[in-house]
Structure formats: C-alpha cells, structure tokens
Chain A
Amino acid sequence: MKIKALLLGAIASTAFAPVAFAERGSDGHVSIIYWQAPSILNPYLSGGTKDLESASLILEPLARYDENGAMVPWLGSEIPTVENGGVSADLTSITWKVAPGLKWSDGSDVTAHDVKFTADYCLHPEGGCASLSKFDGVSSVELVDDMTIKVTFDGPTPFPYGPFVGNESPIIQKAQFESCIGAAAPGCTDQNFYPVGTGPFVVTDFRPNDVIQMEANNNYRDPAKPAFATLTFKGGGDATAAGRAVMETGEFDYAWNLQLAPEVIAQMQKGGKGIPVAGFGPLVERIMVNNTNPDPALGPDERSVIRPNPKTADPAVRKAMSMAIDRPLLVEIGYGSAGKLTCDLVPAPAIYATGNDSCLTQDIAGANKMLDEAGWTKGADGVRSKDGVRLSFSYQTSTNAVRQDFQALIKQWWSEIGIETELRNLNASVFFGGDPGSPDTFQKFYADVEMYANTFNGTDPQAYLANYLCNDAPRPDSQWQGGNISRFCSEEYDALHKKLSQTAGTEARAEIARQLNNMIIESGSVIPLVHRGRLSAHSTTLGGVKLNVWDSELWNVADWYRKDGS
C-alpha cells in the first residue's frame, strides 16, 4: 500500500472518489471507438495518432503529461529536475530512476535495462523509428544501476524531457523485443501486435485496422484497477458514426476526436446517451501565405522556391487578408465549443501565449482602406491590382467539410476587399503525403495560400518554432522536405531561435518564444484562424474520463469506472 501511494501520488492527489469500485475488473466491459483504426501496437513503428493512443493502454512511459500539461511521474519514481539533482547543472544529462516494484504483464520485473533497450531499439539506424525526434541530441544512454538510467546529450539541453516521456516514447520490454532490433523490426508481427506492457490492459486479440480486444492486466501496479475486466477498441468508419454510436445509440462508451459541425454534435447530444468533452492543446487551424512565387509558368526548380511572391510580398496585402476574416464566426460555424479565438501561432500552454487579440474583430473597411493606401486599385471586375500584379489567389486545403466551408466564407470576405480566390481541395493522403513527385503536397505549396492545422507534442514549442527557420524551407534539393511551409525567412528570427535553444528556465524561454511568435504573426506569413480543441465524447455512464490533449487521450483509462445505477 505504501509503494502504491508513493507511485500514484500525483494521480491520487486528484482522485475522484473511487468508492464505486474496490476491485479490479468489477465493472465489466468498456468499449472505445476510434474512427481511424489502429494498425500496429508498437508506437515506434506507428503510422499515426490512432496507433499511439491504442498502444498507450498497454505501454507506458517514465513520465506523462496530465490534463493540464504538467509532467507527472509514471513508471519513473519522480521527475528529474536541476533542483533535485536529476538534471545536471550544465543541462547536458538527465538521470531517471525507475519506480521499484513494477511488473510487466508477464510477471517479470521492470528494470532500467528495459529503458536502455528502448533507447537502443529506437536509435538503431535501420529500424525506421517513428519517435526518433524524441531522441534528438542524445549522445548516449547509459545504465547507472539496475533501476537508474542516465541520458547524455551532445550539448546543453534546457528541455531534456524528450526520451521516455509522453505517449510517443513508452518503455518496451527487453526480453520480448530483443530479437526485433533494427532491420528485423518489421518481421516481429507477434511482438508488434501483442506487446508485453505495464499498462492497465493486456491484448487478447488484435485485428489490424479493425478491432482490439483486451483484458485487465493482472500484474497492474494498483490492485484495485482497472475497474473494467475487458475492453474493446473498435476502429474504422467516420467521425459522424462514432459520435452517433456513443451519444445516440449508446453502443460504445468513448469516441475519439469528433471533428463535426457544432450543430451535428448538438443534435447527437439530444440522444442523451453521451456527452461531448473538449480539451485544448496548441493546435491551430491557420492559413499559410506563400512567400515564394508559385506561378505555374516557372520551372520545377523555381516554382515555390524563388522569392518573392509578387502578390503577397506587400505587408499591407497580408495584413488586409487577416483583417477581412471574421474569426468568431469561423469558430461558431466550424468548431463551436471545440474552438477558441486566437491571434497566435502558439496559443497554449498559457505561459507561451501572448494573448494578442488585435485580430478578433473583422474590419473590411479598414482592410480596404489599407489596400487603397498601399496603391492597390480596384479594376472593373472588382479585383485589385498594382503594377500589373492582380490579387488573384489560389487557395488549397485538404478535403474536409469544415475546411470547405471555411474556404467558401474566406473567399467571400476576400472578394469584399478586392481579392479574387480560386479554391482547390485535395485528397488528404496526397496533400499531407510527402511524395516529391506529386504537385499537390502541402510542402510543395504550388498555391498562394493554403490552410491546415498544426501543433506540437508535449509542452515545449522550441521544435515547433524551428519550423520557421530560413534553411528549413522545402526545396527541390531537399526532396521538398522541410517544415518551413510558408518559406518565412528572417535572420533576426533565426538568431533569436538559436538563443531559445540555449536558454534555460521556463520564464525566460517563454519570453523568447512569445517574441518569436509575434515575429511570425506580424510578418503575416501565417494567418491564425481558430485555436482548435479536441472534442471527444463519452457515455453518460462512464466515469473518470479526463480529456488530455498533451498526451494520450486514454492516459488515465485505469481510473475509468462505470457509474452506479447504470
């Protein structure tokens, strides 16, 4: 009991009276539906969120983020910091202690050997590890003793919580995966489908891209949890059907990521069988403005490579484009309670958000005035031009009902300020795929503006802000890979970002991050539209759900229970 109290201190402190259940498995069956079906339960070989979240029921990291974005120890005994000596004073290493007494679901002990193996597994050059960026800058991972592991970085790392933290980097069992390292990884079907874990559930039947059946882990650290004896994780279909199955027919207990129009959610809620819950991470739906010239007349080595884009080069145009947008209306129509207003690129966590609200009111007249003053005059067809450059934009995005509504609305607003827009929607798997042979990827950006959403994992925006460094722009010689989609480029920004990577202390880092955010927003290269939340729904009879957008949504499934009288 003492160990348990120690271990779960962080979680237990926020405890919601678990009186209803005192015994593992006493609440029967729980069913979860994700409209994307999991393909694999090894997060290091995963292809997307669906795999990571389903795997988080089984595999666990040393520390997780809780629903407020704060780090809590999970398999580790505490969060290492400079103060408690876990992080070295020069910020080049971090030492984790594995909590004592933990068992794998097969009954063996969890040790630091498993943690070390996890790092070796992911860092193997032929493995194709999906979480490799979590290990960025790691120079070595060493065993200190059976329960202690030390990660050394090749330079000062102010935020050393990449490896073994969060749902992308859980601990896998050495004994099970030993023969699966490197090029052998894909062949280990049994290991990838039935991983041995420390989490509250164990897989009994895995059908790729369809359904997973699980039962409670008998070796789970808290003898009273999980409350459910069995769990079904169904995948496939669409968000509408998933929402309907939870809120209208009550066939399922939990539905993930219901990206639906607010009216549709409201209608489903009338079914009375479930309730939607929303949580907000740093996800922002935005319009990216192309700083390079996407003119189809240019050759493949110049299109969307050479600067400037004659249509968007004038800051007045970019400013006017943003001013013409009625953001409260976009939130109301597209996201409802799952959307918030923002003028920032980094709207969360709160400490990084600037709280800028200058863009929240639509100002068509002001935008028109600004364009008039900048010398863009309206032609006979109502479209502005200047020096032979016509403000006629191509505007692309992925296929999605809400995005197409946004396109229609924004096209209308822009037409009111004399900007003509030609819309295109693209198949999401082509648009977000990085095929350098396709002209339609978002990296290639063969358009003047494009709309999508992006976010970052965890709570530190350094890597996210690195997406606006000059040399990160996609180009033919980088096979059109690179994170700087809008091709924003500023020496000042690059220098400031370098400073961020060397600064420690949350407050100081937040200050720099806010400055970086402002530089991008003021340049007009990114026009934020909506701060998007994640909307999920759970059955009215399911208790203990705490929507977490910083980690797996199913992070606290061990605490879920069936409400009394249902």
Chain B
Amino acid sequence: MTELSNPTPAKPPRSQWLDVWDQFKSHKGALMGGILFLLIVLSVYFGPFLWDIEPTKIDIRARNQGPSLAHPFGTDQLGRDMLARMMAGGQTSVSVGITAMLLALFLGSFIGVLAGYFKRLDGPLMRLTDLFLALPLLPLLLVMMLLFREPLNAAFGLERGIFILIVVSIGITSWMPTARIVRGDVLALKEREFVLAARSIGTTNTKMITRHILPNVLSPIMVSATLGIATAIITESALSFLGLGFPPDFPTWGRLLFDATDYLQQYPERVFWPGMAISLTVLSVNYLGDGLRDALDPRIRGR
C-alpha cells in the first residue's frame, strides 16, 4: 500500500515521441541513412558555394576529360564540369524526388485508408484507382502540360511553374499502388481485436485512423516511399526527353544518366556518378524508413 500511495513515480514520465527518438538514435542503419541523406542534401545545395564552376559553362577545349584536379568528376561532351552538373542536377532531382514521393504517398495513403476503413467509400475510390491505373501515362502528361503549363508559368514564374507541374504530374500518376496496398492492409486490420476493443471504448473514427490504423500500415508505406523516390527521379528524366520537363540546359541526375548511356564504353565514369547518386539517395531513404518503422513499433522499442 505504501508503494501505491507514493506520490512521486520512480522515473519521470516520458513522452511517446522521446521514446521514438531514443529508439531511432540507437538504430545503426537509420543513423547511417540519415547522415548519408543529410550529406547528399548538403552537398547538392551548399556544394555550389564551394565549387563555383557554372554547370552550363561550356569549355569546348576541355571536353571528354577524365577525372582530374581541375574537374574531379571529369567533363562531358561539351566540356561542362561534371561535378558542377551533378550538384545542380541533384538539387532538381532530390527536390523533385522527395516532393513528388511525398505527394504520391499522401494521396495513396489517404485514399487507401479511406477506402479500406469506410465501406461506403471503398467502391467509388477503388474504381477511381482502377481508372487512374488504366489511363495511358504519356497522353495524360501531354494533356496536363497543354492545359496547365502556361497558366502555371504565368502564376509562379518559369522554373517554379515547371517544378509544380512536374511534381504534381508525377504525384498524381503514381499514387495508385500505394492506395491499393494500404487499403488491403486496412481491410485486414480493421477486423483485428484491438480495433474492436478501441471501438468499444468509443474511439472516434479520426482517432481510430490516426492512432490505430495508420501506425500499423506504416511499413508498406515506408517501402512505397523508398521505391517512390527512385521512380520519381527516373520519371522526371523521362519527362524531359518528352520535352515536358525542365529546359534542356537544366541538368538532372536522370538526364545525366541517360545522356551518358551512349558513352558507356568510352567514358564509364560518366554513367557512374549519376547512377551512384540516385542509388545512394534511395538507399539512404530506405534505411531512414527502416529506422523510423522500427522506432515507431512499440513492440520492438527498447529491445
């Protein structure tokens, strides 16, 4: 009895998020992924301050050079510095990749959860998903560019207008698998005992979704996120070949990789840099996602 009446608990109360952070910190993969990701972001955004060669500056006498002190990553077929182009390309690719992935993830999870949780919405939302899955991608993108490019350019300026357009078009053409996967998981989850228990104590739908459903479908969402970044970076480059993306003198990782593919035999290092950059970004996000998932799982926490 004395113990029970003891007014001070043995340990100070900890918030749930502090626990999550502790777990995340001690996760080796997550930490490495996080550092790597930070490094990539820092180098593409702040690298240009240290390495101030213009990425579009053509030095025709110095074309097709291998790595050297003047050009650590070599130069391309017009003598443009590859390091500068990698950094400039990274700014576009990383920002497009992350934003488009987040948009697709948000749309996908939102529609997936709604469809899985509310029986009445399931039919219409899933038929909508079928429709989007069936639409041919290329004509859809062409139509979007036709309708929205000029208004967006007028409203946000050329570069930002194109950025918004690209992110939105990648986002709304790639949310469907996430939605289907999340819905499938939610369908099974909502029949579990803990959901029944939660409902019996009067949990509202909103609370139910944010507290009980979402945390439990986090792992497929995380996988979708990592795969989504890679897809978004590659799709962005596909858009530029179609003339739907950024202006042609705007380097991106996907475009650098594509341009270098023809020179694969002569200058293999030129495909190596963008290929490695894309892979590293995806890997780092993957480890981050792994760590986050583990940290959010109370059953693993503290083990």
- Measuring CB to CB, which residues of chain A are less than 8 angstroms from any residue of chain B? 240, 260-261, 263-264, 267, 296, 329, 333, 398-399, 401, 404-405, 407-409, 411-412, 422-427, 430-431, 438-440
> What are 19 A-B pairs at a CB distance below 8 A?
A263-B266, A264-B262, A264-B266, A296-B150, A399-B241, A399-B242, A399-B243, A401-B259, A401-B262, A405-B77, A405-B78, A408-B56, A409-B58, A409-B60, A411-B56, A412-B58, A425-B243, A439-B146, A440-B243
Decide: A411 and B243 in contact? CB cutoff 8 A.
no
The one of B78, B242, B249 that contacts A423, using a Cβ cutoff of 8 Å: B249
Q: Given contacts A333-B60, A399-B243, A425-B248, list 19 more A-B pairs with CB under 8 A.
A: A240-B262, A260-B262, A263-B263, A264-B262, A329-B60, A333-B78, A405-B78, A407-B248, A408-B80, A408-B249, A409-B60, A422-B158, A424-B243, A425-B240, A425-B247, A426-B243, A427-B142, A427-B244, A430-B243
Q: Report how far A296 CA is from B161 CA in the complex, Å.
A: 16
- Measuring CB to CB, which residues of chain B are less than 8 angstroms from any residue of chain A? 56-58, 60, 64, 77-78, 80, 142, 146, 150, 158, 240-244, 247-249, 259, 262-263, 265-266
The 10 A-B pairs of least Cβ separation, nearest first, read: A426-B243, A425-B248, A404-B248, A427-B243, A427-B242, A423-B247, A425-B243, A412-B58, A423-B248, A399-B243
Q: Report how far A515 CA is from B78 CA in the complex, Å.
A: 37
Asked if A409 meets B146 with Cβ closer than 8 Å, knowing A263-B263, A399-B241, A431-B243, the reply is no
Q: Report how far A264 CA is from B259 CA in the complex, Å.
A: 12
Determine the chain A residues whose CB is within 8 A of the CB of B150 once the complex forms. 296, 439
Decide: A424 and B248 in contact? CB cutoff 8 A.
yes
Determine the chain B residues whose CB is within 8 A of the CB of A407 once the complex forms. 248-249
Asked if A263 meets B142 with Cβ closer than 8 Å, knowing A405-B77, A408-B249, A426-B243, the reply is no
Determine the chain B residues whose CB is within 8 A of the CB of A427 once the complex forms. 142, 242-244
Q: Report how far A430 CA is from B249 CA in the complex, Å.
A: 20
**Chain A residue with the shortest CB-CB distance to B57:** A412
Shortest beta-carbon distance from B220 to chain A in Å: 35
Shortest beta-carbon distance from B258 to chain A in Å: 9
Decide: B262 and A261 in contact? CB cutoff 8 A.
yes
Determine the chain B residues whose CB is within 8 A of the CB of A423 once the complex forms. 247-249
Determine the chain A residues whose CB is within 8 A of the CB of B57 once the complex forms. 412
The one of B58, B77, B142, B247 that contacts A261, using a Cβ cutoff of 8 Å: B77
Q: Report how far A427 CA is from B244 CA in the complex, Å.
A: 8
Shortest beta-carbon distance from A504 to chain B in Å: 45
The one of B56, B64, B242, B259 that contacts A263, using a Cβ cutoff of 8 Å: B64
Shortest beta-carbon distance from B211 to chain A in Å: 48
Determine the chain B residues whose CB is within 8 A of the CB of A260 once the complex forms. 262
Asked if A409 meets B78 with Cβ closer than 8 Å, knowing A263-B64, A423-B248, the reply is yes
Shortest beta-carbon distance from B251 to chain A in Å: 10
Decide: B247 and A422 in contact? CB cutoff 8 A.
yes
Shortest beta-carbon distance from A557 to chain B in Å: 29
Shortest beta-carbon distance from A362 to chain B in Å: 11
Determine the chain B residues whose CB is within 8 A of the CB of A430 once the complex forms. 142, 243
Q: Report how far A552 CA is from B58 CA in the complex, Å.
A: 39
Shortest beta-carbon distance from B240 to chain A in Å: 8
**Chain B residue with the shortest CB-CB distance to A422:** B247
Q: Report how far A89 CA is from B80 CA in the complex, Å.
A: 62
Determine the chain A residues whose CB is within 8 A of the CB of B146 once the complex forms. 438-439
**Chain A residue with the shortest CB-CB distance to B267:** A263
Shortest beta-carbon distance from A230 to chain B in Å: 32
Decide: A263 and B77 in contact? CB cutoff 8 A.
yes
Shortest beta-carbon distance from B74 to chain A in Å: 14
Decide: B78 and A408 in contact? CB cutoff 8 A.
yes
Determine the chain B residues whose CB is within 8 A of the CB of A438 once the complex forms. 146
**Chain A residue with the shortest CB-CB distance to B142:** A430
Q: Report how far A427 CA is from B240 CA in the complex, Å.
A: 9
Decide: B262 and A408 in contact? CB cutoff 8 A.
no
Determine the chain B residues whose CB is within 8 A of the CB of A412 once the complex forms. 56-58
Q: Report how far A296 CA is from B154 CA in the complex, Å.
A: 10
Q: Report how far A398 CA is from B80 CA in the complex, Å.
A: 22
Shortest beta-carbon distance from A508 to chain B in Å: 44
Q: Report how far A329 CA is from B247 CA in the complex, Å.
A: 23
Decide: A333 and B243 in contact? CB cutoff 8 A.
no
Q: Report how far A422 CA is from B246 CA in the complex, Å.
A: 11
Q: Report how far A305 CA is from B255 CA in the complex, Å.
A: 35
Shortest beta-carbon distance from B238 to chain A in Å: 11
Which has the most chain A C-beta neighbours within 10 Å: B77, B243, B248? Answer: B248
**Chain A residue with the shortest CB-CB distance to B258:** A401
Determine the chain A residues whose CB is within 8 A of the CB of B242 once the complex forms. 399, 427
Shortest beta-carbon distance from A311 to chain B in Å: 18
Determine the chain A residues whose CB is within 8 A of the CB of B263 once the complex forms. 263-264
Determine the chain B residues whose CB is within 8 A of the CB of A333 once the complex forms. 60, 77-78
Decide: A411 and B249 in contact? CB cutoff 8 A.
yes
Shortest beta-carbon distance from A365 to chain B in Å: 18
